[in-house]
Amino acid sequence: MNKINRIGFQFSLISMLIAIVFTQLNAIDGQNTTEKDPVDWPNIHSNVFTDFNKNITSPQIDKEAIHPFAIVIGNCYIGKMVFVAPTAVCRADEGTPIQIGDFSNVQDGVVLHGLETTQGGKFVDNRRFNIEGDRILANNSEYREGFSVFIGDRTSLAHNSMVHGPAWIGNDTFVGMKSFDF
């Protein structure tokens, strides 16, 4: 592992530990976010019906993952012990679905979004990835299970970075501040 990757991995671990400590401190103070289901928050809701996405889908979120000032729309899956910071946006309305793996963190100002994965009710070639990171053709049976944006486990998306699908970011990855990944 080269020095830059090692530093990025160490930063991801530190970020993950901070998120865990933050969650535990809130639980000790009696402010655990599980007291209110985040799906009931006004910043977390299904996508709207459009000509490019007629499937109305609500996010799937671990209850301790989302800050009240983060925004999550549509077909987003956010794993366990993920920290989604204030002003971060996961918008799965055009490019769907978006997955953020377990123990990852999405810092302030991060935007996750993707190009349309369907047009005229038909799948669009190469707009989704499988879990291994291979692009999928529209006629492939894997397409329905693919991802417009895939963020692996233990991955850190630093402040103001943008991930615009189709995009695949693997496990144990650090995406630097103000980076653009597509």
- Residue 47 is predicted with a pLDDT of 73
What backbone torsions phi and psi does residue 39 show, to the nearest 5 degrees?
-65, -20
Q: Which two tokens stand for residue 173?
A: 């990855």
Predicted confidence (pLDDT) per residue in 37-58, tens digit: 555 667 777 877 877 777 778 8
For the whole prediction, is pTM greater than 0.85? Answer: no
- Residue 158 is predicted with a pLDDT of 97
Burial of 144 (C-beta count, 10 Å sphere; 0-12/13-18/19+): exposed
Strand partners, 18: none
Rounded to the nearest integer, the mean pLDDT of the chain is 81
Q: What is the distance between the alpha carbons of residues 58 and 69, in angstroms, rounded to a whole number?
A: 18
Asked if residue 12 has pLDDT above 80, the reply is no
Domains of the chain, first to last: 3-181 (2.160.10.10)
- Residue 6 is predicted with a pLDDT of 54
Predicted confidence (pLDDT) per residue in 89-109, tens digit: 999 999 999 999 999 999 999
Q: What ranges in the chain are assigned the alpha helix state H?
A: 3-28
Catalytic residues: 94, 116
Predicted confidence (pLDDT) per residue in 55-76, tens digit: 778 888 876 677 888 999 999 9
Q: What is the distance between the alpha carbons of residues 126 and 142, in angstroms, rounded to a whole number?
A: 12
Question: What b/e sequence results for 71-103 when a residue is b if at least 16 CB atoms lie within 10 Å of its CB, and e otherwise?
Answer: bbbbbbbbbebbbbbebbbbbbbbbbbbbbbbb
